[in-house]
Amino acid sequence: MFHDSHIPLIKWFLAIYLICSAKKGIPATQLKRELALGSYKTAWYMAHRIRLAMQEDQAFCRKFSGILEVDETYLGGKGQGKGGRGHANKIPVIAIKERLSG
């Protein structure tokens, strides 16, 4: 799905989230607006590729259930002369895992 794409990976994952969390789907025009994409054609391409992947794997948009473990972090070094907990210009990483009962 991401092969030979100039679109940043974070935008792909945000698009997947938006499409999977919308009850009746999301039009490419809204995807363009929400992700600040350059053109409608880019938004349509992304939505089309995501929908094709969803056809191949029906469990793609399965909702989580039960107890979940969620954690986030930001990757990237500190800027020179900057301290603190700022996360500007860092890559966000989010992990979600379903906890097995028992």
Average pLDDT over residues 1-8: 79
pLDDT in tens, 41-61: 999 999 999 888 877 766 655
One domain, residues 14 and 57: yes
Alpha helix (H) residue ranges in the chain: 9-21, 28-35, 40-56
Better-scored residue on pLDDT, 35 or 70: 35
One domain, residues 43 and 86: no
Q: pTM, whole model, 2 decimals? A: 0.56
Better-scored residue on pLDDT, 83 or 70: 70
Average pLDDT, the chain: 80
Rounded distance between C-alpha atoms, residue 14 and residue 5, angstroms: 15
One domain, residues 42 and 75: no
Q: Which residues pair with 12 in a beta bridge?
A: none
Better-scored residue on pLDDT, 41 or 64: 41
Q: Contacts by 55-60 with C-beta closer than 8 Å and gap 24+? A: 60/20
Q: Kindly state whether residue 2 falls inside one of the protein's structural domains.
A: no
Q: Kindly state whether residue 4 falls inside one of the protein's structural domains.
A: no
Which structural domain, as residue segments, surrounds residue 82? 68-98
